Chains A and B, each alone.
Chain A
Amino acid sequence: MAERGPTLLFSVFFCLLCYVFHTVASTKDEYSEELLIIPFRSGQVYSHFEFTTLWDVDFAQGGGGRYKLQHFRLFPRALGQVMTEYRVQEMHLTLTQGMWQQDKWGYPVTSAAPGAELWAWFQQEVDDVDQAWFGLTNALSGLFCASLNFIDSTSTATPHLSFRPQGLAEGLFSTKPSHLQYATLPRENVCTENLTPWKKLLPCSTRTGLAALFHAGQLYNTQYSSLGVHLRPVCRNDSCRDASLELRQVLSTVADPPATLNGKQDWSMKRYFSRSLSGPCPMAVTSRVYVDVTTNQTSSFTLKPEPTELKLTNYQGYNRKLAVYDLWSFPFHKEHGLNVDMKWKKEVSYKELFPPRLYVHRFVTGYGQEHGGIMSLLYNRHPYLEQQIIYMELLPWFTRMYLHTLKVETTEGNLVQPLLTRYTPGRDRQNPYLLEIVLTLPPDSTTRISFSFERAFLKWTEYPPDANHGFYISSAVLTTILRQADNFTVPPHMGSGLQSGLFHSSTEFPLRLHTETLLISLPTPDFSMPYNVICLTCTVIAIAFGSLHNLTTRRFQYTDLKKANSGGMRAWLAQLFGRGKHATSEDKLREPGKESEDPGEESETSEENDYIGEQRELVTPRVRAESDKKDR
C-alpha cells in the first residue's frame, strides 16, 4: 500500500497533463486577455489578470533545437530568444510581494511563493543543464530587472515529485528528471521595476486593452501582488498531433478597500487602478472582465454598468455566478470608458470566513543561536476524505537539517507514516537540503511535520548587507490533487485562459500551496573585526620587535642623577618628572661655566643611550653636552 500510493498519484498527475489542449487554432498566433474580480468575504478584492499568447510553432523544425523562434508577431521576442538560446521547454517565473492568506482567501488562481520563484524544464537535448540554468537565470534577471542572477547551485534543487511538467511531456517533449531546476529567492522585493519590463512583453503594451489599467503606484499599494510568466508547450487541437507554445502572463493583486476607505467596501476600477478601460486590445481574440457576484445573492452590492452577460456555472454542486463584460461587445462611449463599479449598500458586510479544505502553516521553532527547528501544520478539514499530498522543503546549506529528527504526527499524537521520503542532503556552500515526503493526511485532522537543524557559521564575506536582519528560508511547497473544487478561485484547468477553468468542469483539481517564508537569524560576527585584528596583531608584533631591538642594541646603566646635569629640554623634562625640585635648585646654584668642566666624569657611561636619557634615572652626558652648547 505504501508503495502503491505515490505511484498512483503520479500517474494521475501525468495523465492529466497529457490532455492539455486548446481548441481554437485558425491563426498562427493568438492573444487573449482576461480579468477576474472577486470580492472576498473578508472585504478584500482580488483582481487577477491573465494574458495568454498561443503560438503554433513548428516544433520539429531546426535539427537539434526543439524550436527556433525567429519571426515574432504577438509573442515577445525578448522572451522567445531567451527560450531558444537556453533550450527551455517549460518555464515558470513568479515575482510576488506579500503573502497569500489561504485560510482567509481560499486558493489563488496561481499560487506563488513570496519573493521570486523560478522553475524550468530544459529540453532533453541539453547536455549541460547547470550551464543552461546559469544562462537562463542571468538572462531573465536582465529581462525582468530581478536579482535572479543570485541564483546559484546553493539555492537550486531538482525536486523529483513536486514540480512535474505542466505542459506536454510525452513524445517529442519527454525530458529527463534531471532537467528540472527549481530555485527561490525569498528575500526578493518586487516592485515597479519588475512590472515595467513585464508590461513590455504584452503586444498592446499598456496602451489599450486590460493592460491599460496597470498603474504601478496603485498595483503595489496592495496587500498582495504577484507577477508571473509561465511558458509551456500545449496541444494545438483535440487530436494533439501538433503542439503550440503557450505564454501566460499573470498579474494578481488583492486590494483592501476597507483599509483605505475608512471601512467602506466600495470598489471601482477608477479608484483602484486610477484608470478605466477604453477598449479591447485590437490583437486580442478574447478580451473579457469577469466579476464574481456569487456572494451577492442578497444583492448587498450593485454593479455598474450592467454586464454584457450573466453566467452561471456549476461544478460538483458548487454554484457560481459571474458577471461578464466582453470588451468586444461592450458599447464604449468616446468620453468615458468602462469603469466597473461595485457599490455596497451597507458600510461593511463582511461574511463568515470558511477556511479551505486543505491549508498549511509553517513556523520556526527552537531558541538560541546554535539549533533551531521548523514545524509545519497541515490542515485537512474534509470530514471523511483522507488526502494524499507531497510536501517539499528546500533549506539553504547554512541550516543543516537533521533528517533523524523528522517527525510526522497528527496533533492527537498519532504517528503518520510517510509513504515516500526523498531526501537530498545539502553540502556546505554547494547545494541546499531538499526534502520531499509523500503523506496521507487523515480526514478532519491536523498533521504536524517537524524537524530540527543546526545553524552554520558563515565566513565573514558570505553575510549579506544588513546581516542582522536575518536569513530567509523559502516557502515549503505542498502539492496535491483535490477531488472537490469548492475552494478554488478558479478551478485548475487544462486549457488556456481563465474561461476554460471557469466554464469547463473537471473531476480532479491539481493544487499547489506555498507556505510562509521563514526568517531565521544566524550567529553574526562583528564586521569591523578584520581591521581590529590587523591593528592588534601589528601592534603586538611592533611592541615585541621594539623591545627586542632595544635589548639587543642598548645597554641599560645607572648614572648618578646628581652629577648628571642638565639644562636642555629633555633633561629638564627628565627632572621635572623625576626629582624635579631638588635638581633644579641645584642647577640654579651652579654656574654655567663650571658645568663644562664636568662632562669627562660621565663620559664612561654609554655614549649612545640617548633613549635611556629619557628615563628618569639615566641621564646621558650627551644631554649635557647639548645643554652646554645651548648655554653658550
Chain B
Amino acid sequence: MMEGTCQKSCSKRLKLKDVASTEAVTQVYATLGVALVVVVIGVPLWWKTTEVYRATLPYGDIGQLKDTQVIYNVGVEFVLPLQTQPQDLLDWREQVDQHLDTGTAYSPISPHYDIKVRTTNKDERTVINQNGSMEALDSRLTHLKPSAVGSCTVYLLAKDSSLEATAYIGRHRTAFVKSSGDVSRDVRISAHLVRSYFVNDERLKTTFTSATGAQHDKENIAKEQMRAFKTNMGYEVTFSLLNPDPSVLDVQWDMEAATASYLNPFLDRLADVAEFKVFSQVLYYVDLTVRPARDERRASYYLTPDQLPHTINPVEAKLGSHVSTYPNVHFLVYIPERGHSPLYIHNEQGKESETNAFFSPRWGGMKIVNLDSPPKNASLPRTVTLDLLPIMETFLSHLRLLLGVAQLPPDPWIVVEPADNTAITDWEYDHLLRVRTVENVATATATLATLSQLLGEIGNIVINDDIARQVYLAVDAIRKAQRLLAAGDISAAFQASKEAILSSEKAFFDPSLLELLYFPEDQKFAIYIPLFLPMSVPVLMSLFQAYRWYKKQQQKQPAKEGKGAMKESEKEETEQDDDSNAEEKRSPKGKKQSRKER
C-alpha cells in the first residue's frame, strides 16, 4: 500500500523536484556571482583606493652596496739613494710588496697600494745634499715635486745624513728614513710609516666597521671616533667666557683678533671639509653648581674628574642658540669667583692637570683660568684682559680631536714634525679626508640599508617621489665615492661621500615618512567595519549555502552510482528521501533500519 501511494505521487514529486533543483542551481549561481563581484572587483578596488603611495626604491642596489668591498687606492713612492745596487732595488720592490700586501683574507674595506720604487733624480740629489734642517729639506723637496693629495713619498737617506732619529715625518706628504744598510729593516720601517702614519689603515677599518653598525661591541670602536663629531656639513664653534662675578672682575677678551690669528688658519685649511661659523659671547653671573673641594695645603680649590660632567649641564641652558642645524661646539673659559680661587682640575691620580682644561666628547671643552683676585681695598671691578694664546692653544687641540684628526701614540724613533699655524699637516689632512670619506660611505650605506629594511617591514609608510629621488641620489653618490676612492682621488671622493650622506639622511629623516605611521592597517579595517560587517554576513551565508549545495551534489553522485546495485523497493524508498535531509543521506543504512522498525 505504501508503494502504491508512492507511485502515484512520485512523478509529480519528481517534476517539482526538477523545478526545485534548477532553481537551487540558479540561486547558487547568483550567490557565486555576487561573491565573485565582491571578491574580484570590490576587495581589490577597496584595497587599491585605500593603499598608500609608495614609490619604487632600488632595494636591490642598496643590498648590493652593503656587500660591496670598499677599496681605496694610495700612491706610495719610495726613493732610494742613487748608489743603491740594482739587486737591492729589486729586493726593495719585492719586500715592500710583501709588507704592504693586504693578504687574501676578505675585509669589507681594504687598501690598495700603488707602489713605485726608484732612485733619486738629479734635482732631488742637489736638494738632499744641501745642508739644512729636516724641516727645510722637507719643504724644499715638496716644493720640487709636490705629491698629490692622498699620496706619499718616503726618501731613504744615506747613513751619514744629518737625520738623528730613525725616521722623520715632515709637514707635507714626505717621510725620511735613515738607511741602516739592512734592506729588510729599512723596508720594514718605511712600510710602517706608510701603513700606520700616512694611511693608518687600522683606524680606517675600525671607523668603517663601526659606522656600518656591523660592530656593536664598544671596545672595538676607536676611542677617537667616540670623541669626534660625526660628519656634518658645518659646525658652529662658540667660545663663551663665563664670569660669575662681574662686580669684582671685569674680564675682557679680544676674541675677534684671537680667532683671526689662531683659529682661522686651521678653519680655512678645513674649508673643504666643513663650513665653520665662529661665535663668542660673555656670560655673566653664571656659576658652576658643583662645589669645588678645598686643598688646605696649597690654599687652592680643585675639581675631581667625576665632578666635571656636572659643571657643564647647568651652564648649557644659557649657551645655546638654535638657529642653525649645525652642531654646536662649545668652548668655555671659566673665571673662578673670588671665594673659590684659584681653582684647579685634578686628574684621576689626584694631580693637577697641566692645561687646567677638560674635554667633553662630541660637545667641546672647558678651561679654567685663574686670575689674581683684586686686593681688598682696590676699587672694584678691576678690568682684566685675558691672554688668549694659551687658551686658544688648548681649544685648538680640543677642536682637532673633535673633528677627528688622528692622534698617534708617540714613538721615540720617529720624529713627527708638528703642524705650523694651520694646526694640521698635509698628511693628517689627507688622512682626515680619507677617514671621513670612508665613514660617510659606510654611514650612508648603513642609513640606506636601514631605510630600505624599515620601508620593507612597515607597509603603510608613504614613500613619496622626493624620498625616492634622494635615495637614488644617495646610491649614485655612494657608488661615485667608492669609484673615486678606488681611483685614489680622495678630495673628489670626499665631496661625493658628503652628497651621499646628505641625501641619505634627508631621505631617512623626511617627516613625510611618519605621517601615516600611526594610522596602521588595523585602523583602516576598523573604519570600514560598519560597511564590511553587514555586507559580509549575507555574502558569507550564501557562500556557505552554496558550498553545502555543492557538497550535496557531490554526495548525490556516488549515491546515484550505487543505485544500480540496489533493489527496486529500496530504490523507491531512497527516492522518497528529502533531498535536504543530509543526515539520512549520510547513513542510508540507519534510515532503512528505522523504517523497518516502523
Binding site for B on A (CB under 8 A): 70-74, 77-78, 81-82, 85, 139, 142, 200, 203-205, 207-208, 279, 282-283, 534-535, 538-539, 541-543, 545-546, 549-550, 552-555, 593, 596, 599-600, 602-608, 610-611, 620-622, 625, 628-629
Contact = CB atoms under 8 A, between A and B. Distances in A.
Contacts of A538: 528, 530-531, 534
Given A550-B538, A610-B545, A621 B580 contact: yes
A628 B33 CA distance: 33
Contact of B534 (A279, A539, A600, A608): A539
Interface stretch (B208-216, B279-287, B438-446, B558-566): B279-287
Interface string B1-35: 00000000000010011011001100110110110
Contacts of B533: 542
B247 interface: yes
Interface in B213-253: 238, 246-247, 250
B569 interface: no
Contacts of B583: 625, 628-629
Nearest to B29: A553
A283 B530 contact: no
16 contacts: A72-B279, A77-B279, A85-B323, A85-B324, A200-B318, A204-B246, A208-B247, A208-B285, A535-B530, A541-B531, A546-B535, A552-B33, A554-B27, A603-B17, A606-B24, A621-B581
Contacts of B323: 81-82, 85, 139
A142 B322 contact: yes
Given A73-B281, A546-B538, A553 B23 contact: no
A622 B548 CA distance: 12
Interface in B249-292: 250, 255-256, 278-282, 284-285
A608 B545 contact: yes
Contacts of A535: 530
Nearest to A602: B578
A56 to B, nearest CB: 13
A282 B13 contact: no
B378 interface: no
A282 B251 CA distance: 12
Most chain A CB atoms below 10 A, which of B34, B381, B581: B581
Contacts of B528: 538
B542 interface: yes
A77 B528 CA distance: 54
Interface string B561-598: 00000000000000011111111100000000010001
Contacts of A611: 541
B276 to A, nearest CB: 12
B466 to A, nearest CB: 19
A78 B16 CA distance: 94
Contact of A282 (B16, B324, B381): B381
A68 to B, nearest CB: 10
B578 A600 contact: yes
A555 B25 CA distance: 12
Most chain B CB atoms below 10 A, which of A203, A534, A553, A629: A553
B538 A534 contact: no
A207 B337 CA distance: 15
B539 interface: yes
Nearest to B541: A611
A604 B530 CA distance: 38
A106 to B, nearest CB: 36
B580 A603 contact: yes
A504 B485 CA distance: 72
Nearest to A603: B578
A390 B323 CA distance: 36
A72 B255 CA distance: 9
B408 interface: no
Contacts of A608: 24, 27-28, 545, 549
Contacts of A203: 284
Interface residues of B, number: 58
Contact of A71 (B255, B542, B584): B255
A600 B577 contact: yes
SS class, residues of chain A in contact with chain B? helix
B13 A622 contact: no
Nearest to B33: A552
B321 interface: yes
B598 A593 contact: yes
Given A604-B16, A607-B24, A549 B280 contact: no
Nearest to B590: A632
Contacts of B246: 204, 282-283
Contacts of A207: 284-285
A189 B367 CA distance: 42
B321 A81 contact: yes
Contacts of A542: 530-531, 533-535
Q: Which 6 A-B pairs have the closest CB atoms?
A: A542-B534, A538-B530, A538-B531, A604-B16, A72-B281, A207-B285
B61 to A, nearest CB: 35
A4 to B, nearest CB: 46
B527 A534 contact: yes
A606 B531 contact: no
Contacts of A541: 531, 535
Given A142-B322, A593-B598, A71 B256 contact: yes
A441 B560 CA distance: 110
B320 interface: yes
Contacts of B282: 72-74
Most chain B CB atoms below 10 A, which of A596, A603, A628: A603
B244 to A, nearest CB: 10
Nearest to A626: B583
B535 A545 contact: yes
Given A539-B534, A546-B535, A599-B578, A604 B24 contact: no
Given A546-B538, A553-B30, A625-B582, 12 more contacts: A538-B534, A541-B535, A542-B531, A546-B537, A599-B578, A600-B576, A603-B579, A606-B24, A607-B24, A608-B24, A611-B541, A629-B583
B531 A607 contact: no
Contacts of A204: 246, 284-285
B531 A70 contact: no
Contacts of B321: 77-78, 81-82
Contacts of B278: 70
Nearest to A283: B246
A204 B286 CA distance: 10
Interface in B501-551: 527-528, 530-531, 533-535, 537-539, 541-542, 545, 549
B182 to A, nearest CB: 57
Given A73-B282, A282-B381, A553-B27, A534 B576 contact: no
Contact of B579 (A607, A620, A628): A607
Nearest to A550: B538
Nearest to B319: A77
A553 B531 CA distance: 20
Interface in B307-328: 318, 320-324
Nearest to B528: A538
A611 B537 CA distance: 12
B333 to A, nearest CB: 14
Given A282-B246, A599-B581, A553 B530 contact: no
A539 B20 CA distance: 34
A599 to B, nearest CB: 4
A539 B530 contact: yes
Contact of A603 (B20, B28, B280): B20
A621 B279 contact: no
A545 B27 CA distance: 17
Given A549-B538, A549-B539, A607-B580, A77 B281 contact: yes
Contacts of B576: 600
A85 B531 CA distance: 54
Given A81-B279, A208-B247, A555 B23 contact: yes
B279 A625 contact: no
Contacts of B285: 204-205, 207-208
A538 B525 CA distance: 13
A90 B549 CA distance: 85
